[in-house]
Amino acid sequence: MENDVIFVIDMKAFYASIECVERGLDPLKAKLVVTDTARREATIVLSVSSALKAMGVPSRCRRRDLPKDIPDMIYATPRMEMYVKKSAEIVSIFLDYVGQDDIHVYSIDESFLNIGPYLKLYKCTPHELAAKILKRIQDQTGLIATCGIGPNMFLAKIADDIEAKHNKDFIAEWNYEDVPTKLWPIKPISELWGIKAGYTAKLNALGIYSVYDLAHFSKELLIDKFGLLGEELYNHANGLDEAKIREKYVPISKGLSLGQVLMRDYKKDEMPLILKEMTDELTIRLRKVNKNCNCVHLMIGYANMAEGGFAHQCELLTPTSINSELYKSIMYLFNTYCENKPIRRVGISYTNFSEKTATQLSLFSDVKTQEDEEEMFKTLDMVMTKYGKNSITRTSALTKSSTIKERHNQIGGHRK
């Protein structure tokens, strides 16, 4: 459609701003970082407030990299559940303005909205509507957002990334006419959305150093070099993007995975417990998507990075979604490949899904026990969904090396 008008609405220093508002501080002035002080120095800093960013604190860093000479810096412990709830509250505000089909939630603090079809209804310019939405967000939640406006998703995103935060009202509107004056001068080329270090090197090798160079390069040669991505890069450099918010792309789930970095070095004989707990957790998700798994994969990283680790996978004899069967395969991998070294990182994943329709009976397993076990785990799943994940655990959760209770109090690996 020609009359698309896309908004990208992005929350400024989302987690840090929420923590400021919770403390009654001005999110633009307070010097606050969100990081878990109970963890090691190498732990990640989840968010840095705008005032600190202006003082030169990098927005993505580790706690040891924070400057030590800022006396009134506030350390906030992450509260992931609150952030995710706030994020949903903000999407709920968008839903008051546009329909669900015209929203694309891009990340926890960033959404795309197509307001083209609604302009007649609201009888205002895109800029006015953006200001209205940003004001509503600020009034309701106290948080500051920025908005990029463009005729397609790409230009809106770039307008937001490059210009919106510098404007007084935090709104930047770009059109096709602005491409030569605003898009082409962007330097270096890696500033452009979608161009990472790897591509920068490849483009530099072709003599492309700026967005202008890319926009004036031979399209055919780019397609020849990079395939479909080459054409996409060329289009982006010319401010074109064919993506439509309504044409939602839902990836086919090819696998499930779970990983964790352990809080201390674990000995080899402590690992079976960790693996059992991780198997339990991932299998709940497997049963939720109602699939059987044919292949399990195990990754172990030793405490000493230089010693590396290993990653191996194995096929199962029969597809299954029963904890004990999957655990057996993972333990087989573990016992075959793991050396006796301290361990710090673990990851397991299930792939090669099949539908839970007919099952091939095996000579080596008892159907009745399998059915009983599956029934039992289904019941356990129901208990956990209703009363919370910590309502029922293995007794081993009480042992020293268990991490499961701790992990149940986390979202995305950070404190709930």
Partner 1 sequence: MSDRGMKKWLPFNALIEQNEFLERMIYEKHKIKKPQISVEQASKIDRILKEHADNILTFRIYLDGYLYTFNGKIEKLDLPNHKIYFKDFFVPIKDILDIDDPEPFCSIS
Give residues in contact with partner 1 (CB under 8 A): 80-81, 84-85, 87-89, 91-92, 95, 100, 104-108, 112, 153, 194, 228-229, 231-232, 235, 241-245, 247-249, 251, 285, 411-412
Catalytic residue among 2, 19, 110, 373: 110
Nearer to partner 1, 100 or 395 (CB): 100
% helix / strand / coil in the chain, to the nearest 5?
A: 45, 20, 35
Which residue has 């201390």 as its token pair?
A: 264
User: To the nearest whole angstrom, how small is the minimum distance from the Cβ of residue 82 to partner 1?
Assistant: 11
Nearer to partner 1, 71 or 251 (CB): 251
Integer Cα distance of 374 and 386 in angstroms: 19
Integer Cα distance of 66 and 388 in angstroms: 36
Q: Could you tell me if 283 and 366 are in contact, meaning their C-beta atoms sit under 8 angstroms apart?
A: no
Whether 325 is catalytic is no
User: To the nearest whole angstrom, how small is the minimum distance from the Cβ of residue 336 to partner 1?
Assistant: 30
Distances (CA, A) of 107 to 10, 91, 270, 285: 9, 11, 36, 21
In this structure, what token pair is assigned to residue 302? 């030793």
70-99: string of b/e by CB count within 10 Å (b at 16+)?
Answer: eeebbebebbbeebeebbeebeebbeebbe
**Residue in 121, 128, 237 with CA at minimum distance from that of residue 187:** 237
Nearer to partner 1, 36 or 81 (CB): 81
User: To the nearest whole angstrom, how small is the minimum distance from the Cβ of residue 116 to partner 1?
Assistant: 16
Nearer to partner 1, 100 or 181 (CB): 100
Indicate the DSSP class of residue 253.
P
Nearer to partner 1, 167 or 290 (CB): 290
User: To the nearest whole angstrom, how small is the minimum distance from the Cβ of residue 293 to partner 1?
Assistant: 17
DSSP SS3 for 191:
helix
User: To the nearest whole angstrom, how small is the minimum distance from the Cβ of residue 383 to partner 1?
Assistant: 18
Helix crossing, 323-337 with 271-288: angle to 10°? 140
Nearer to partner 1, 185 or 412 (CB): 412
Which residue has 């109090």 as its token pair?
A: 409
User: To the nearest whole angstrom, how small is the minimum distance from the Cβ of residue 257 to partner 1?
Assistant: 11
The catalytic site residues sit at 110
